[in-house]
Amino acid sequence: MIVAGIGCRKGASGVEIDAAIDAALAQAGYARTQLGAIATSDGKGSEGGIIEAAAGRGLRIVLVKPAELEAAGPRTQSSSPRVKELFGVPSVAEAAALAACGPKARLVLPRIVVGPATCAIATDDAP
C-alpha cells in the first residue's frame, strides 16, 4: 500500500492539496494511480481541501488519532517546531502516512512543502 500523509494550513484548497500530492508522488517515482489512501490527523479531518482532493482521486481518507501519530513520531525524518508544539509530533504528514500504513511502514519520501500543504509518502512494501 502507498499512502500520502497530508498536513496543511487551515483553509488550504483541494487544488493546493492535490498539487502537493502530485509533487510528492513524482519525487517518489510513483504514478498517480498507485496511491491507495490519503492520511491526516483526525483534527484535520474536516478540512475541505483534503476532503476534495481525496474525493477527486476516489480515495479514502484515513484519520489518524493523536496516540497513533505519537507512536509513529519516532519514525519520522523531518521536524517542524511549530507542528511539534501544536500536534506533539515532528511532522503530521510523515506520522500520518506511517501510521496509516502500519507498524512496518517506511517513508519513501519525507514531507515536502508545496504552498500551504505538506505531503509525505509511505509504503508497507519492503525496500
pTM for the structure as a whole: 0.92
Burial (0-12, 13-18, 19+ Cβ within 10 Å), 68: buried
CATH ID of 2-123, from 3.40.50.2300, 3.30.420.180, 1.10.287.130, 3.50.50.60:
3.30.420.180
Q: What is the pLDDT of residue 91?
A: 84
Dig out the grid coordinates for 112 from the structure. Answer: 515536502
Domain ranges of the chain: 2-123
**Percent of the chain at pLDDT above 70?**
98
- The more confident residue out of 85 and 119 is 119
